[in-house]
A and B are shown apart, each in its own frame.
Chain A
Amino acid sequence: AQSVSQHNHHVILSEAASLELGCNYSYGGTVNLFWYVQYPGQHLQLLLKYFSGDPLVKGIKGFEAEFIKSKFSFNLRKPSVQWSDTAEYFCAVNGDTGFQKLVFGTGTRLLVSP
């Protein structure tokens, strides 16, 4: 069975600080990896996704993530955060099961102070 671990439950940063949120998954086959963001009071939105090819994926709003297959990791990064990045971030994975059966991590709450 697939599982996703996000070890940072709460992260507090000042504006302009760099961000890295950890995501590790457990699945032996081919995976598709996603990062979703949920701004306060809103629904989940896709930040970026990895299917295949270049393991460094660039998403919206300056976010990027690197797929490291040997470490089963898909960490999210941003060089300089803004107050508007305050949100909850979810890593998700689905394997080659033929359906969009996403398995989500427990989420990381990011608070960026101005």
Chain B
Amino acid sequence: NAGVTQTPKFQVLKTGQSMTLQCAQDMNHEYMSWYRQDPGMGLRLIHYSVGAGITDQGEVPNGYNVSRSTTEDFPLRLLSAAPSQTSVYFCASSHSTGGVGQPQHFGDGTRLSIL
């Protein structure tokens, strides 16, 4: 059981480049989310998905796209990287059963720098 796996762990991009951050989970979790972590701001929700084929925006969705074609995978796409997107990105997943209080399982994060 690998849990939540994020790749890559580190990435440096130039302004304007695009890239995809990968996230996969092997726990058959229905819910998956992407957060960004910035100093002094905690974690902020970018996008989330309640199941395959269903996605929605979080608190800070601008500049990012997601899709959920399978239960396991939830990639995050940066369309045209900007320095303001320099951050650490965390993917998380959880079950939907048992109500809204299921704890989330986090990946190890992707540290992204935009030059």
Listed in ascending order, the chain A residues whose CB lies under 8 Å from chain B are 4, 6, 9, 32, 34, 36, 42-46, 49, 51, 90, 92, 94-107
A sample of 25 cross-chain residue pairs with beta-carbon separation below 8 angstroms, ordered by A number, consists of: A43-B106, A43-B108, A43-B109, A44-B92, A44-B106, A46-B104, A49-B101, A90-B43, A94-B101, A95-B100, A96-B100, A97-B100, A99-B50, A100-B33, A100-B48, A100-B94, A100-B102, A100-B104, A102-B33, A102-B43, A103-B45, A104-B35, A104-B42, A104-B44, A106-B40
B31 is an interface residue with CB less than 8 A from chain A: yes
Chain B interface category by residue count: 20 to 34
Cα A6 to Cα B43 in complex, Å, equals 13
Residue of A nearest to B6 (CB): A43
Write out the residue numbers on chain A whose beta carbons fall within 8 Å of the beta carbon of B45: 101-103
Known: A46-B104, A103-B45. 10 other contacts (CB 8 A): A9-B40, A32-B100, A44-B90, A100-B102, A100-B104, A102-B104, A104-B35, A104-B42, A104-B44, A106-B40
Listed in ascending order, the chain B residues whose CB lies under 8 Å from chain A are 4, 31, 33, 35, 40-45, 48, 50, 58, 90, 92, 94, 99-104, 106-109
